[in-house]
């Protein structure tokens, strides 16, 4: 799972145009509160995740609870479980 978090951190750094984030983002990083990701960046990030991991994200099921940590988002996006 560590590799998944690393790949997510790199994607977030790329989308937010802040290379330092690749080293700063952890499994517990809150996408909204810690990173301040906005709606445009979120859409770009979701599309990047779909491409990087070859998955389809159910956008209608995405909820703020899934953004409380990178770990929660990974479970939602890759396992279909946001908890």
Distances in Å between the alpha carbon of 16 and those of 8, 12, 43, 58, 69? 12, 6, 12, 22, 16
pLDDT in tens, 49-72: 999 999 999 989 999 999 999 999
In contact, 41 and 15? CB cutoff 8 Å: yes
- With cut-offs at 50, 70 and 90, classify the pLDDT of residue 81: low
* Domain 2-79 class, CATH top level: mainly alpha
Confidence (pTM): 0.90
Question: Any idea where the domains of the chain sit in the sequence?
Answer: 2-79
């Amino acid at each position: 799972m560590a590799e998944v978090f690393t790949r997510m951190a790199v994607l977030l750094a790329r989308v937010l145009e802040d290379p330092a984030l690749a080293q700063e983002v952890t499994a517990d990083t809150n996408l909204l509160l810690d990173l301040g990701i906005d709606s445009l960046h979120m859409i770009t990030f979701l599309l990047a995740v779909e491409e990087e991991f070859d998955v389809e994200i159910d956008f209608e099921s995405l909820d703020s609870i899934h953004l409380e940590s990178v770990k929660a988002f990974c479970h939602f996006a890759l396992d279909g479980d946001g908890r």
